[in-house]
């Protein structure tokens, strides 16, 4: 894997982590479930385009996703959500 492909795979992990956080946000009902799903799906589509354009192995990305994706979620939760919301988001992610 080249350095550019490693960066591209990191971009995929970040995009997918943000999509999962949108889907599990305690405020998605306030914004509208359809709005949240539309944007989460769009981020996943972008991740798919990055995989394709960077010629990444989808199986290799999927294998790393469970570990690296969880790290990105953990890094992004305190940045994107207030303290009380962090607990709710983590609880929802753990239920899945």
Q: Tell me if 77 sits within 8 A of 19, measured CB to CB.
A: no
Report CA-CA distances (Å) from 77 to 23, 38, 42, 94. 13, 20, 20, 13
Cβ neighbours, 10 Å, residue 88: 15
Per-residue tens of pLDDT for the chain, all 96 residues: 899 999 999 999 999 999 999 998 887 776 668 888 999 999 999 999 999 999 999 999 998 887 787 899 889 999 988 888 888 888 888 886
Supply the pTM of this predicted model.
0.85
- Residue ranges of the alpha helices (H) in the chain? 3-23, 28-31, 33-53, 58-64, 70-80, 83-95
Q: Which two tokens stand for residue 55?
A: 């010629």
pLDDT at 55: 96
Domain boundaries, the chain: 3-95
Per-residue pLDDT at 65: 84
* Radius of gyration, alpha carbons of the chain: 14
Give me the torsion for CA of 84, 95, 69, 72, rounded to 10°: 10
pLDDT at 13: 95
pLDDT at 31: 65
């Amino acid at each position: 894997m080249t350095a550019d492909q490693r960066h591209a795979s990191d971009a995929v992990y970040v995009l997918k982590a943000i999509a999962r956080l949108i889907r599990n946000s305690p405020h998605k009902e306030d914004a509208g479930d359809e709005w949240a799903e539309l944007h989460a799906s769009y981020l996943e589509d972008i991740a798919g385009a990055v995989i394709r354009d960077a010629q990444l192995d989808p199986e290799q990305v999927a294998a790393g996703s469970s570990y690296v994706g969880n790290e990105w979620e953990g890094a992004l939760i305190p940045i994107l959500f207030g303290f009380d919301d962090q607990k709710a988001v983590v609880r929802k992610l753990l239920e899945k």
